[in-house]
Structure 1
């Protein structure tokens, strides 16, 4: 299984999940130019990460890749204990990060996708930061009395961690969210997280 990742992108979450399986895998750390090169466009025509190649099987889209990793290495427990309830709980929180939190960053990363008038960019970014604060408050509440989003370590946790790194980079106010702060500290002390960050040149 080979993962294509870009440092600090959502694909780094898949990299952490693969580290957590304890099984061998390959990772290709991509540059922006490599993502647009013909060799990679043959794998993912959108020129985006993540992508996974497993033999003849090629898979894109982060949530699908997380599910594939969990199902390929069930002993790692990233989708729960095998029960439908735990799989659904893990998928629920993966969906929260993938469908709610991640897209809420787009106005901060690329405000021009929403409005052409650059004088409005600051207002769009302020609205995005407010929305993200509310989403992270929900995650903080969920982590009250829990170490992990689903109640057990799952594929949702690396993805949440990566979005917390983004939040710090784009000025989202996370003050007072002590459960999230503790979660981030736990993640950064984790050997699998440290190995993925080191391999991608992150700190």
Structure 2
């Protein structure tokens, strides 16, 4: 299995998940130019990460890739203990990060995609930061009394962690969210997380 990633993008979450499997994999690190090069566009015509190639199978979209990794290496427990209930719980929180939290950052990264008037960019970013904060409050409540967002370590955790790194870089106020702070610290102490960050030049 080969993963295409861009350092610090959501694809780094897939890289962490692969580290957690303990199984061998290949990695190709891309930048904004190589993501648009013909060779990669043949793999993912949208020119985005992540993508994986496993033999003759090509898969894009983060949530789908996380599920594929979990199903390929079930012994890693990335979707729980194999029961439908734990699989659903892990998928619920993966969906929360993928469908709610991640998109909430987009106006911060590219406000011009949401409003043409550059004079309104700060207002758009301010609203986006409030939305992101509110979503992190949901995650913080969920983490009360838990080490992991689904209640057990799953493929949702690396994705949540990467969004916390984005929030830190964007100086989003997460003060008072002590459960999230403890979660972030646990992730950063994890050997698989450390290995992925080191390889991608993020440590």
Give the TM-score, by structure 1 length: 0.99
State how far apart, in whole Å, the 1-side matches of 2:160 and 2:67 are.
15
Q: CA RMSD in A?
A: 0.4
Aligned residue number for residue 15 of structure 2? 15
Q: Indicate the SS of the match to 1:119.
A: helix
Unpaired stretches in structure 1, ≥5 consecutive residues: none
Q: Indicate the SS of the match to 1:32.
A: coil
- Alpha-carbon offset, residue 171 of structure 1: 2.1
Unpaired stretches in structure 2, ≥5 consecutive residues: none
Equivalent pairs counted in the alignment come to: 203
Please tell me whether the aligned partners of residues 51 and 59 of structure 1 are also in contact (alpha carbons under 8 angstroms).
Answer: yes
- Alpha-carbon offset, residue 162 of structure 1: 0.1
Aligned residue number for residue 53 of structure 2? 53
- Alpha-carbon offset, residue 31 of structure 1: 1.2
Aligned residue number for residue 82 of structure 2? 82
State how far apart, in whole Å, the 2-side matches of 1:191 and 1:37 are.
33
State how far apart, in whole Å, the 2-side matches of 1:62 and 1:177 are.
26
- Alpha-carbon offset, residue 129 of structure 1: 0.3
State how far apart, in whole Å, the 2-side matches of 1:129 and 1:77 are.
33
Please tell me whether the aligned partners of residues 51 and 61 of structure 1 are also in contact (alpha carbons under 8 angstroms).
Answer: yes
Write out per-residue CA displacement over residues 68-106 of structure 1, whole angstroms, 9 at most, x where no aligned residue: 000000000000100000000000000000000000000
Give the TM-score, by structure 2 length: 0.99
> Superposition pairs for residues 63-74 of structure 1, below 5 Å?
63-74=63-74
Q: Runs of 4 or more off by more than 3 Å in structure 1?
A: none
State how far apart, in whole Å, the 2-side matches of 1:42 and 1:122 are.
37
State how far apart, in whole Å, the 1-side matches of 2:201 and 2:170 are.
20
> Superposition pairs for residues 171-186 of structure 1, below 5 Å?
171-186=171-186
